[in-house]
């Protein structure tokens, strides 16, 4: 009874999370006019600016609003696609290491560009896992245009690749592949050496 009353007053845990994420969405939306006003070169230069700020001690979380606004604008310029507010929330959920459940056609591929870009800024490599080789190739090529526009490299890790091709894929800022390939590559590497 008391927990029900508290939930009515303060909302559920998910309600509180959505309210917090919504504050960030408002901050991202407020940056949109400034991002639209940038030239392609100025928008691309944001990647180097973010990396410099990270090197100077900034956290990824402190860059989130600006980085998401940059990706939203890059997606608009490259593909004519603008991330919806709910997709921004999905990107924040993924960045927080949580699972975002989305139905077919709701833009999972586009959502993944947000946390992938943000986390790639740290220079440690980001793996985007798809369910099959076709989607890994398609998404690396399709969303890779956004990353390339912003100065990041993209690789694809699929079955049947040579060791050199796999090394090149893993050396990229963002690597698309399947769970099987990432998992078996890990096992092969650890059994080999």
pLDDT in tens, 43-54: 999 999 999 999
Domain of 107, in residue numbers? 2-192
Q: Give how many domains the chain has, as a whole number.
A: 1
What residues does 154 pair with on adjacent strands? 174
List, in order, residues 6 or more apart from 140 with CB less than 8 Å away: 154, 155, 156, 176
Enter the pTM of the model.
0.90
> Which of 36, 63, 37 shows the shortest CA–CA distance to 122?
63
Per-residue pLDDT of 74-130, as tens digits, reads: 999 999 999 999 999 999 999 999 988 888 888 999 999 999 999 999 999 999 999
Q: Say which CATH number the domain at 97 has.
A: 3.40.50.300
Residues 6 or more apart whose Cβ sits within 8 Å of residue 40: 77, 149
pLDDT, tens digit, 9 for 90 and up, residues 132-174: 999 999 999 999 999 999 999 999 999 999 999 999 999 999 9
10 Å Cβ neighbour count for 4?
8
């Amino acid at each position: 009874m008391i927990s029900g009353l508290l939930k009515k007053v303060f909302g559920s845990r998910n309600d509180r999370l959505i309210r917090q994420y919504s504050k960030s969405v408002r901050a991202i939306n407020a940056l949109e006019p400034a991002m639209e006003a940038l030239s392609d070169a100025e928008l691309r230069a944001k990647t180097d600016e973010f990396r410099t700020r990270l090197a100077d001690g900034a956290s990824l979380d402190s860059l989130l609003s600006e980085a998401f606004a940059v990706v939203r604008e890059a997606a608009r310029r490259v593909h004519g696609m603008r991330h919806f507010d709910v997709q921004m929330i999905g990107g924040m959920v993924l960045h927080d290491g949580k699972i975002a459940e989305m139905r077919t056609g709701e833009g999972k591929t586009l959502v993944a560009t947000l946390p992938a870009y943000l986390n790639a800024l740290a220079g440690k490599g980001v793996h985007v896992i798809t369910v099959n080789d076709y989607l890994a190739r398609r998404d690396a090529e399709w969303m890779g245009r956004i990353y390339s526009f912003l100065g990041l490299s993209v690789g694809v890790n699929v079955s049947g690749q040579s060791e050199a091709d796999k090394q090149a894929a893993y050396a990229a800022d963002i690597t698309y592949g399947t769970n099987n390939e990432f998992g078996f590559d890990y096992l092969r590497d650890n059994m080999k050496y």
